[in-house]
Amino acid sequence: MAIIEVKDLVKDYGNFRAVDGVSFEVDEGEIFGILGPNGAGKTTTVECVEGLRNRDGGSVSVLGLDPERDGAELRQVLGIQLQESRLPDRLRVGEALDLYGSFYRERANTDQLLEKLGLDAKRKTPFGKLSGGQQQRLSIALALVGNPRVAVLDELTTGLDPQARRDTWDLIEEVRDSGVTIILVTHFMDEAERLCDRLAVVDSGKIVALDTPAGLTARVSVEQRVRFRPSAAFPDSLLLDLPEVARVERSGPHVVVTGGENLLQAVASVLARNQIVAADLRVEQVSLDDAFVALTGKSLEN
């Protein structure tokens, strides 16, 4: 059942249309991703959902509430992790939770929350003395302190080291399993692939695709890719003559061959016939990144 409905959303900044007719629905209990390059309009979109910005067109409904008309009511059921949120350096973890908690009628058990986020020993630590990962976890705790039904998390793991990112992902799955519906704004493919049930791919203010990560990948999965280091030089035409091969690219000592079904067998047998040994042979899976490039003509990795 959809508990968030966004229809034909439009937001202008002066003459610039940052969000240009965006529509999507989020079901209860979903982790719904909004993925796109910087400047695509992701944050503006979720700010209109949160009621932090007024829209210029379209409609938004969150749990039956209109963020513009019912903002006060909506904030009681919505948890918001602000992008790069900074707190005063001297505010202690426990004080921050009490302060944010005071905005809500219903509050989470802060002891449990701090324990779940691995911050139970940090209750008295000032914000300025926390590590980047701890600050990030605190911002998630603050988004959850009002026991929200919907949480909006923006650039969840920016600036975290790999282990802290994986821990944060586990945590978000736990939050979802506890019944919270999550909108996740991200420009990280791996994060989107790992966490999201469905994804809206946004580019230049428009949704260019909306599907599960697997569904998005499947759109380009007719392609296969084989990568190897040949033992002897050979002309591209040797492989390009094969019906299975679409492209041959050179990357330093490596050859990367893209093509259709049975690519590996076809490439391996023609190399064998020509006494070429393929070292470091790898078959590469099509990733969400490939799907993104196919959909938008851009790469996200900057």
Would you list the DSSP string of 26-42? EETT-EEEEE--TTSSH
Give the shortest CB-275-to-ligand ADP separation in angstroms.
52
Question: By CB under 6 A, is residue 13 in contact with ligand ADP?
Answer: yes
Number of chain residues interacting with ligand ADP (CB under 6 A): 10
CA distance 192 to 260: 26
Q: What residues are paired with 31 via a beta bridge? A: 182
Residues 167, 173, 178, CA angle at the centre, nearest 5°?
125
Q: Which of 3, 4, 9, 18 binds ligand ADP (CB under 6 A)?
A: 18
Question: By CB under 6 A, is residue 44 in contact with ligand ADP?
Answer: yes
* Six token digits for residue 293: 């490039």
Nearest to 158 by CA among 302, 48, 299: 302
Q: Which of 6, 30, 41, 199 binds ligand ADP (CB under 6 A)?
A: 41
Question: By CB under 6 A, is residue 54 in contact with ligand ADP?
Answer: no
CA distance 144 to 28: 17
What burial class does residue 20 get, using C-beta atoms within 10 Å of its C-beta: 0-12 exposed, 13-18 middle, 19+ buried? middle
Q: Which of 39, 159, 215, 253 binds ligand ADP (CB under 6 A)?
A: 39
Question: By CB under 6 A, is residue 298 in contact with ligand ADP?
Answer: no
Query: Measured from the CB atom, is 18 or 145 closer to ligand ADP?
Result: 18
Query: Measured from the CB atom, is 27 or 84 closer to ligand ADP?
Result: 84
Question: By CB under 6 A, is residue 186 in contact with ligand ADP?
Answer: no
Stretch that binds ligand ADP, among 31-39, 74-82, 233-241, 282-290 (CB under 6 A): 31-39
Identity (one letter) of the amino acid at 217?
T
Give the shortest CB-21-to-ligand ADP separation in angstroms.
14
Query: Measured from the CB atom, is 137 or 187 closer to ligand ADP?
Result: 187
Question: What strand order describes the sheet that includes 150-154?
Answer: 78-81, 150-154, 181-186, 31-35, 198-203, 206-211
Stretch that binds ligand ADP, among 42-50, 188-196, 212-220, 274-282 (CB under 6 A): 42-50
Residue with tokens 């909306």: 210
Residues lying near ligand ADP in the complex (CB under 6 A): 13, 18, 36, 38-44
